[in-house]
Each structure stands twice: as C-alpha cells, then as structure tokens.
C-alpha cells in the first residue's frame, strides 16, 4: 500500500496513518524543510507534487490553515493563500480515496469534526475533515477532559477567537514534554506541535477506510 501525505508538516497525520497501516509506504510532500518527518520526505510544492497522486492508494492533504484560522484576526493586514479548492480538484481528478483536513470555518464539503477529548488527549484541537467516504464520528467529551492544554501558537493566551472556536481559556504547557504528551506526539518541537494534528485523528479515520481499501485491492 502507498500513501501520499500532502502539506505533510512534521508528520502528525502520517504517524496516525502508519499506526493504522504499518506496512504502508508513506511519502510526505511539503514546501518547507521537515527534518523530523518520520517517513520518506520530498520537499516540493504540494499543489504540484513531484509524484503522481494516481499512483497511490490513499491520499491525505492538510492545506495551510492560516487563512481560516482564528489567529487571522490577530493579523488582519496579512494575506494568506487558500489551497483547499485546487487540492480538492486534484484529488477528485485522480479518483483515489482521500481526506482533506483543516480548521473549523474552512470551506470543506460534507465535513465532520474531531476533538482531542474524544481520544483521551489533553488537547481539544478541533479539526474538520472532508473524506471520500462516510466516517462515523465520536462525540466531544469536554466534560470529562477538564481544562485542556493549548499547544497552538497562542500558548494558552486568550485571543480574539471566533465564537465557534473553543480553544480559548486553556492551560499553557509547562514545558515541551507536557505539550508533546497532551497531543500524543513525542518527536516534534514546539513550533511543529502548533501546526500538527494528533496522530489519533488520522489513525481513527484510516481504520474506517480499511474495508473499502481492502475491497479495492481485491478487485
């Protein structure tokens, strides 16, 4: 099995995919250097990957979220690109199973949301997803989580977030280790954690793709 990880960052999604598919070959593509990416990494523009998406069995894409992030309100003069539309067009054209991940408020289609509280994590890190097949989604468990830890770029500070963004009023991690443990990642540095999704999310989603992928391989 071959997995393409577009806009891969330091590999939060990739690690979850690896846990679901330990024998899969995972290739990550990102325009920025990613020295701690845990699998095969290619530095390139993920909107024009140097590999053929149709040669892969599954594609994960996490286009930059800054344009749709709550933090954009802190820097209204900055201009951010949105690559969701061109990424979706590329994935639909290749006809392979896919997932697109982004922040709440991003223009994804038929979305579902995951929360760290559903997986016993100490972060909320709400993220929305568009998938090429239906996904059964667990409920948020905020009431059982307590006050979450903020590993985002705000570092626990209260900021002018959107009303539907529940990242505020959180604890700042005391050190890197606590931030890593909160999100379930032990190889990233602080700046990388701020951009990552918990591997538990992608592992959960990949496990639900297993049946359809096995059927496709048998045909």
Residue extents of the structural domains in the chain: 2-141+196-218
Nearest to 132 by CA among 197, 206, 68, 52: 206
Query: Per-residue confidence at 65, pLDDT binned at 50, 70, 90?
Result: low
CB-side exposure of 105: number of CA atoms within 13 Å?
16
110-134 pLDDT, tens digit each: 889 999 999 999 999 999 999 999 9
78-103 pLDDT, tens digit each: 656 788 999 999 999 999 999 999 99
Query: Per-residue confidence at 25, pLDDT binned at 50, 70, 90?
Result: very high
Query: Per-residue confidence at 76, pLDDT binned at 50, 70, 90?
Result: low
**DSSP code string of the chain:** -EEEEET-TTSHHHHHHHHH-TT-EEEEEESS--TT-SSEEEES-TTS-SS-GGGSSEEEE----GGGSGGGGG-TT------HHHHHHHHHHHT--EEEEE-TTS--SS-EEE-GGGGT-S----EEEEESS----PPP-HHHH-SPB--STTTT------TT----S-BPPSSHHHHHHHHT-SS--HHHHHHPPPHHHHHHHHHHHHHHHHHHHH-
Cα–Cα distance measured from residue 123 to residue 137, given in angstroms and rounded to the nearest whole number: 17
* Structural Rg of the chain based on CA atoms: 17
129-183 pLDDT, tens digit each: 999 999 999 999 998 888 899 998 644 444 444 444 544 457 889 899 999 999 9
180-219 pLDDT, tens digit each: 999 999 999 999 999 999 999 999 999 999 977 876 665 5
CATH architecture under which domain 2-141+196-218 falls:
3-Layer(aba) Sandwich (3.40)
CA distances from 203 to 54, 59, 119 (A): 22, 13, 11
> Global pTM?
0.87
């Amino acid at each position: 099995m071959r997995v393409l990880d577009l806009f891969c960052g330091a590999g939060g999604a990739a690690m979850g995919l690896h846990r679901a598919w330990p024998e899969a070959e995972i290739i990550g593509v990102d325009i920025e250097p990613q020295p701690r990416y845990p699998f095969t990494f290619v530095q390139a523009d993920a909107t024009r990957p140097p590999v053929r998406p149709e040669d892969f069995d599954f594609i994960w894409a996490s286009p930059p979220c800054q344009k749709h992030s709550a933090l954009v309100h802190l820097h209204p003069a900055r201009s951010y690109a949105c690559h969701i539309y061109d990424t979706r067009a590329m994935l639909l054209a290749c006809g392979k199973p896919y997932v697109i991940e982004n922040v709440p408020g991003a223009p994804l289609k038929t979305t579902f949301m995951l929360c760290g509280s559903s997986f016993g994590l100490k972060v909320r890190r709400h993220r929305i997803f568009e998938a090429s097949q239906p996904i059964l989604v667990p409920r948020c468990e905020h009431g059982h989580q307590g006050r979450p830890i903020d590993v985002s770029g705000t570092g626990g500070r209260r900021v002018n977030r959107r009303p539907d963004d529940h990242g505020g009023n959180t604890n700042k991690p005391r050190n890197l280790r606590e931030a890593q443990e909160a999100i379930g990642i032990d190889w990233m540095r602080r700046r990388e954690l701020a951009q990552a999704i918990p591997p538990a999310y992608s592992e959960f989603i990949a496990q639900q793709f297993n049946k359809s992928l096995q059927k496709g391989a048998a045909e």
